Amino acid sequence: MFRILFSLTLFCTLFSVSGCKDSSRPEDLPKLFPCVITITQEGKPLEEASVELVATDQNNAKYKSLSITDAEGRAVMSTLRV
């Protein structure tokens, strides 16, 4: 039992030290903030609308925020699934 606990503790320690950095996130990606947009048409929620936010800063233009609205017209925006 002690050997299993020791191995598990060692694994968790090594994983927490080496697994902290998200290698899928580009270094130049700006700080991201949660964003939910509601799209309506004639006052009613618009379902399955494609929504894209485009940066006005050319340095960030390569990172697009994409989503599709749900039945209530809400789109939860994300960039590179971050």
Average pLDDT per 10 consecutive residues for the chain, totaling 82 residues: 41 44 71 89 96 83 87 90 61
Cα 44 from Cα 73, distance rounded (Å): 8
Sign of torsion, CA 61 56 26 13? negative
pLDDT for 28 equals 79
State the pTM of this model. Answer: 0.58
Cα 9 from Cα 2, distance rounded (Å): 10
At 44 the three-state DSSP class reads strand
Q: Counting beta carbons within 10 angstroms of the beta carbon of residue 44, is it exposed (0 to 12), middle (13 to 18) or buried (19 or more)?
A: exposed
- CA–chain centroid gap for 34, Å, is 8
pLDDT for 49 equals 94
pLDDT for 7 equals 40
